[in-house]
Amino acid sequence: MIDLQLLEHLETYLTPERKARFDAVLPNRTKHFTVATEDVYQLHNTSAVIRSCDVFGIQEVNIVEERNSKRIDREIAMGSQKWVDLNRFHSVADCIQDLKQNGYQIVATTPHEQDQVLADFDISKKSCFFFGRETEGLSQEVMEAADCFLKIPMVGFTESLNISVSAAIILQDVTNKLRRSDINWQLTEQEQLQKRLDWISKTLKSYGKIVERFYETAER
């Protein structure tokens, strides 16, 4: 449980602008959808996907680093890694198992005979959108575990998009539809409080000392 008195105290250290931003962003956060990247080689692609998740309100990103393990490019992520939760996995199997245990269907974003186009995607189910390697695409392991296959209609000579562009297109579409639906997609009250506390801890440089002083004063 969140210590509400502590939270209220910590918020007095925030600027009015920062507090207002938290108030505006939190109600638009969701875990109804999430994203997974599989061994993306180009660092800026993973970073750009994280940035898109933040922009469109996706709270969690799952990063599989079975072959490629690299630090998030802070310049391209534009600080969004502070506001989005990163779940890192060393294998596709572990990632898929975790997602399914948390009620997500696996959506493979790749051309496939049984594809459904983005406009027809059923937003009612909790879904994780999987994006694969730049040249190879998704692994056979993800393809076999997928519950459905999703594609972005294309009418030009080019038959593929950069994964960060694909992620942005898909997330903009599904989150826009989600917010216009009657689906219970928002974070729970406790999740919002926990996330507010987490964001404050990443905002205040003296967070630890402030918390320590708060409890020392409370004990007197």
8 belongs to a structural domain = no
Q: What share of the chain has pLDDT > 90, as a percent?
A: 68
State the average pLDDT for the chain.
89
- 193, 1 in Cβ contact below 8 A? no
Which residues in 65-159 belong to E strands, given as ranges?
85-89, 105-109, 116-117, 127-131, 148-151
Query: In terms of domains, do 99 and 207 share one?
Result: no
Q: For 95-151, how does the pLDDT look when each residue is reduced to its tens digit (9 = 90+)?
A: 999 999 999 999 999 876 567 889 999 999 999 999 987 667 788 999 999 999 998
151: CATH = 3.40.1280.10
- Domain that residue 191 falls in: 187-220
91 belongs to a structural domain = yes
pLDDT at res. 181 = 97
CA 76 to chain centre: 16
Angstrom distances, CA of residue 43 to CA of 73, 109, 194: 6, 19, 29
pLDDT at res. 67 = 64
User: Is 68 a residue whose pLDDT tops 60?
Assistant: no
Nearest one of 52, 36, 69, 39 to 134, comparing CA atoms? 39
Query: In terms of domains, do 99 and 132 share one?
Result: yes
pLDDT at res. 74 = 59
Angstrom distances, CA of residue 93 to CA of 29, 37, 46: 27, 13, 19
16 belongs to a structural domain = no
In the chain, how many domains are there?
Answer: 2
Q: What share of the chain has pLDDT > 70, as a percent?
A: 90
Amino acid at 144: E
State the Cα–Cα distance between residues 18 and 16, nearest whole angstrom. 6
User: Is 163 a residue whose pLDDT tops 80?
Assistant: yes
Bigger pLDDT: 68 vs 89? 89
pLDDT at res. 72 = 58
Identify the residue whose tokens are 């960060």. 164
Query: In terms of domains, do 111 and 166 share one?
Result: yes
Query: In terms of domains, do 179 and 113 share one?
Result: yes
What are phi and psi for residue 109, nearest 5 degrees? Answer: -95, 85
State the Cα–Cα distance between residues 163 and 19, nearest whole angstrom. 33
